[in-house]
Amino acid sequence: MRRRLLALVVVPLGVLGLLAGLAPLARGRTVIRVDRISGSSEAHFADQPGQPVFILVVGNDGRPGLEGARGDAIHVIGVNPALGKATILDIPRDTFIPIPGHGRDKINASFTFGGPALQAATVTQLTGSPIGWVLTTNFDGFIGMVDELGGVDINVPYPMNDSFSGAVFAPGLQHMDGHAALAFSRNRHLGDGDITRSYDQGLMILAALGKLRTDRGSPTKVMRDLAVLARHTELHGVGLRDLYRFGQLGLSIDPANIRNVVMPWTVGYAGAASVVFVGPGADGLFADFRDNAVLDSH
């Protein structure tokens, strides 16, 4: 109970901003899980203010009656507090790569095999980024949470008219309630399918963070948003110093200084299954990302 009450005070609005774009893919209990990954120096970034921080955000498809949830929305958030910049690296869920201890498979299967820790190890092996935190959710309360926060403004990049997800939007700035935000984030019947959807989830993350940064100007809104987040948060191995620093970090970056980039990719087959392969130029982009969390040459 003490941890839950403390979470009400210091759990960061930035956490919700990072997760908001991923929650729509999940169905199940309304929980944001925050894990600190042991063995990574990045897990104790409160002791090294200003140093780059790498956070893995995963939306999984866990729901009652389903065994073996998959990590179906995968984003690495790199934050450089000293530069006031950040990068969202979007990784398609069907990326076919080696998973530690399990051979080659789609990257989303690593969550099935070993939960947040193995998902983080797999993504670290792919990108070289030292991940210190994993944020994941399988909750069905995304619509209610967005509505509680008063909706979110999203700049829709192109016309959407998808009967599968219900995403019907004209291009331009749109104010979305929970149902509309859910449809926007689930829409994959356009462009390059799941790859386009992965990029759009990054747009949702940026929109949610922008919303929360705006709200922090009002103490009443800040307390309301903190209360919404705290009701839906579980903490695993997270110290209070780190948590407080995490909160400051999440709101320190202007969304205008955040790049949203899908990793280089190509489409192919693994047996009869359609998969995504790591594309040409990915190694260079990963190196550019992991040195300081900012894409200096991409």
CA distance linking residue 109 with residue 16, whole number of Å: 24
**DSSP letter assigned to residue 21:** T
The 10 Å CB-count burial string (b at 16+, else e) for 194-209 is bbbbbbbbbbbbbbbb
* Cβ burial, residue 296 (10 Å; 0-12/13-18/19+): exposed
Single out the residue of 211, 153, 205 nearest to residue 180, CA to CA. Answer: 153
What is the per-residue pLDDT across 12-30, written as a single tens digit (0 to 9) for each?
Answer: 334 444 444 444 444 444 5
Q: Rounded to whole angstroms, how far apart are CA atoms 113 and 264?
A: 25
**CA 109 – CA 50 distance, rounded (Å):** 34
Q: What is the pLDDT of residue 42?
A: 47
> pLDDT at position 26, please?
41
pLDDT for position 22: 42
Phi, psi of 264 (to 5 degrees): -55, 140
Query: What pLDDT is recorded for position 286?
Result: 98
Domains by residue range for the chain, with CATH:
2-289 (3.40.630.190)
Give the model's pLDDT for residue 10.
31
Model pTM? 0.83
What pLDDT does residue 148 have? 72
Whole-number average pLDDT of the chain: 78
Residue 163 pLDDT: 87
Q: Which of 53-57, 186-190, 194-198 has the lowest mean pLDDT?
A: 186-190
Which one is predicted more confidently, 261 or 73? Answer: 261
85 versus 143: which is more confidently predicted?
Answer: 85
Q: Which pLDDT value is given to residue 215?
A: 64
Please tell me the predicted confidence (pLDDT) of residue 141: 54
Summarised one tens digit per residue, pLDDT across range 129-179 is 999 888 887 545 566 667 777 888 999 998 999 888 889 999 999 999 988
Alpha carbons 252 and 243: distance in angstroms, whole number: 14
92-101, 115-124, 219-228, 270-279: which range is least confident on average?
A: 219-228
